[in-house]
Amino acid sequence: MKIDRRTVLGGLAAAPLAGLAPGRAFAQKAGINYWHHFTSTTEFKGLERVIALFNQKYPDIAVTQENIPNPEYMSKMTAAVVANARPDTCMVVAERASDLVAMGGLVDLTDRIKKWPRYGEYPDQAWAGATVNGKIYGIPAFTFVDWMYYRKDWFAEKGIAPPKTYQEFLEAAIKVSDPSKNRYGLSLRGGAGGFKYVLDLIEAWGSPIVRDGKNAMDKKKATEAVDFYAGILTKHKAAPPSAPNDSYRQIMEAFKTGQTAMVWHHTGSLTEIQAALKPDQFGTLPMPAGPAAHIARLTYLFNGVSNPAKTDADMQWISFWAEPEPAIAFLEETGYFPSSPKVAADERITKNPLYTAAVETTKFGRLPPTFVGVAGWSETVVLPEFQKVLVGRATAEQAVDAMMAGLDAALK
Do the beta carbons of residue 296 and residue 145 sit within 8 Å? yes
Do the beta carbons of residue 198 and residue 188 sit within 8 Å? no
What Cα–Cα distance (Å) separates residue 168 from each residue in 59, 172, 240, 286?
53, 6, 19, 13
The per-residue pLDDT for 39 is 84
- Domains of the chain in start order, with CATH, are 5-144+299-361 (3.40.190.10), 146-297+369-411 (3.40.190.10)
Instruction: Quote the CA–CA distance of 362 and 170 in Å, as a whole number.
Output: 24
3-state secondary structure of 303: strand
Q: Which amino acid, residue 219? A: K
Instruction: Quote the CA–CA distance of 49 and 31 in Å, as a whole number.
Output: 18
The per-residue pLDDT for 29 is 56
Residue 317, CB-side half-sphere exposure with 13 Å CA sphere: 29
The per-residue pLDDT for 17 is 40
Q: What are the pLDDT digits (tens) for 246-257?
A: 999 999 999 999
Instruction: Quote the CA–CA distance of 131 and 113 in Å, as a whole number.
Output: 12
The per-residue pLDDT for 25 is 39
The per-residue pLDDT for 281 is 98
Q: What are the pLDDT digits (tens) for 127-170?
A: 999 999 999 999 999 999 999 999 999 999 999 999 999 999 99
Sequential pLDDT tens for the chain (412 residues):
333 433 333 333 333 343 333 343 333 455 899 999 998 888 999 999 999 999 999 999 999 999 999 889 999 999 999 999 999 999 998 888 988 999 999 999 999 999 999 999 999 999 999 999 999 999 999 999 999 999 999 999 999 999 999 999 999 999 999 999 999 999 999 999 999 999 999 999 999 999 999 999 999 999 999 999 999 999 999 999 999 999 999 999 999 999 999 999 999 899 899 999 999 999 999 999 999 999 999 989 999 999 988 788 999 999 999 999 999 999 999 989 999 989 998 998 999 999 999 999 988 999 888 887 888 899 999 999 999 999 999 999 999 999 999 999 999 8
Could you tell me which of 203, 173, 359, 363 has the C-alpha nearest to residue 284? 359
Q: Which amino acid, residue 218? A: D
Could you tell me which of 184, 234, 269 has the C-alpha nearest to residue 386? 234
Instruction: Quote the CA–CA distance of 283 and 306 in Å, as a whole number.
Output: 41
Do the beta carbons of residue 345 and residue 360 sit within 8 Å? no
Instruction: Quote the CA–CA distance of 259 and 240 in Å, as a whole number.
Output: 8
Instruction: Quote the CA–CA distance of 75 and 98 in Å, as a whole number.
Output: 15
Helix axes 70-82, 94-102, angle to 10 degrees: 20
